[in-house]
Amino acid sequence: MASNAALSAADVFVYADQQIKRAAAEVWPGAEVQLGQHTPSVTTYVRRLTVDGRPLFAKVSLLGLSLVSVLRGTAGDWDTVRAAQVAYRGSPGTLLEREAKALAILRDEAGVLACPVAGHQGGVLFTEPVAGPTLADLLAKEPHRTGELMTRVLVELAGLQRSAVARAVDEVAITERGIRSTFHRKFNGISGPTYLRKAGDAGEVLATVVGRLRRLRVTPAAGRQPVVYGDLKPDHAVFPDGPEGRPVFLDPGLAHGPAQTDMAKLVSRIVLNLIASPPDRAAADATIAGIGVFADAMTADLGPDERAAWIKHLVVLWLMDTTNILSTYLTCPPDLPLPEHGGKISRQAKAVVTLLDRTTAHLIAGTDPRAVWRLTLTDAAKAADR
């Protein structure tokens, strides 16, 4: 049952640290465990640690919900959450258990380089760090390679379509991280309006955007949906050997979903990065042009009508993802540290909601999706040119 009283982030963090220490002691009995820096996140509690000097990351998920939701009291008061967490931790198919299995599927079935799992115990997932620039880092440094690098990331994930992967994902699907499922969970008819009222000055425009997105209809492709990575952010692809090497993937959200899912997440977060940390005009234009080239390559084999439908679905998912994460940042409890880029995006909320407002208005008006795509990329470049 939801509580009206917000929870204390400090209480949650102390609890999570205790769970990490306990789980580490069970996985590595007698080892020296030293907790390191907390990594700000709005979804799970993440902390660096060393085990006998070995660097690791530990991740704790409360009830499979986002930290923001838990701290807002969505799952009840702190006593209720702790009691529920004990039961959740012991139940099969928890979020982090499925994530650990998804990382194994990536490596063993899909032939994808994935973050190594060091252990999973007591509701805590331990992974090894992956050093190197992320896709986001590379795009900021080499914007003229945007289309090439985005394409390479998607090509690396081609193994997700193997039949063995599809069967395995049926058992461990992480639907919680899906763009559309997240959107409808956040903005349902009952709690959605109340939630958006907490988004400050942007709340009114976001409510209009959400209403339009809920009314838009997209036609899914015939047949079974493909396997998608599900949470393909630019920070979730790391290049240990630089831009010429193969990427290593983090934090999967494997599930069956629309073919546009991974591209939509990438485009959404790349554009948000441009708005949050604007480069010079030439770099912004090069990045946006690369996104366009990438989309052209993805739809090269489609006829005009198919391409229009595909692009419309892509744009809708892009806008849903941007709405999801912006609203999360804007409603974040003040005592929960935001990731650095989250704070920057929040400070540029007006530019983001203007982009969302204009694009959803075009879609609702029935504008040709291919024209909407071009207009939205142009508007994104303008939003980054400040």
Query: Tens of pLDDT along 133-172?
Result: 999 999 999 999 999 999 999 999 999 999 999 999 999 9
Query: Has residue 29 been placed in a domain?
Result: yes
Note whether residue 84 is domain-resident. yes
Tell me the C-alpha distance between 139 and 161, whole Å.
27
Does a structural domain hold residue 293?
yes
Instruction: Print the domain residue range for 117.
Output: 9-127
- The whole-angstrom separation of Cα 37 and Cα 46 is 9
Other CB atoms within 10 A of residue 309 CB = 17
What are the start-end ranges of the E strands in 66-183?
117-121, 124-127
H-type helices in 216-280, by residue range?
261-276
Same domain, 264 and 333: yes
Among the three residues 93, 111, 127, which one is the final residue of a domain in this structure?
A: 127
pLDDT digits (tens, 9 = 90+) for 26-44: 999 999 999 999 999 999 9
Do 121 and 46 share a structural domain? Answer: yes
pTM of the entire predicted model: 0.95
**178 & 301 share domain:** yes
Statement to judge: residues 205 and 266 lie in one domain = yes
Residue 3 lies in a domain: no
206 and 294 in a single domain? The answer is yes
Q: How far apart are CA 24 and CA 26, in angstroms?
A: 5
Half-sphere exposure at residue 104, Cβ-oriented, CA atoms within 13 angstroms? 14
Strand partners, 48: 57
- So what's the pLDDT on residue 222? 67
CB 146 within 8 A of CB 139: yes
Asked if the structure places residue 195 within a domain, the reply is yes
237 lies in the same domain as 326: yes
Domain count, the chain: 2
**Do 207 and 340 belong to one domain?**
yes
% residues pLDDT > 70 (the chain): 97
| Both structure tokens of 154 | 């998607």
pLDDT of residue 1: 43
CATH code, domain carrying 81 = 3.30.200.20
Question: Does 95 lie in the same domain as 207?
Answer: no
Residue 4 lies in a domain: no
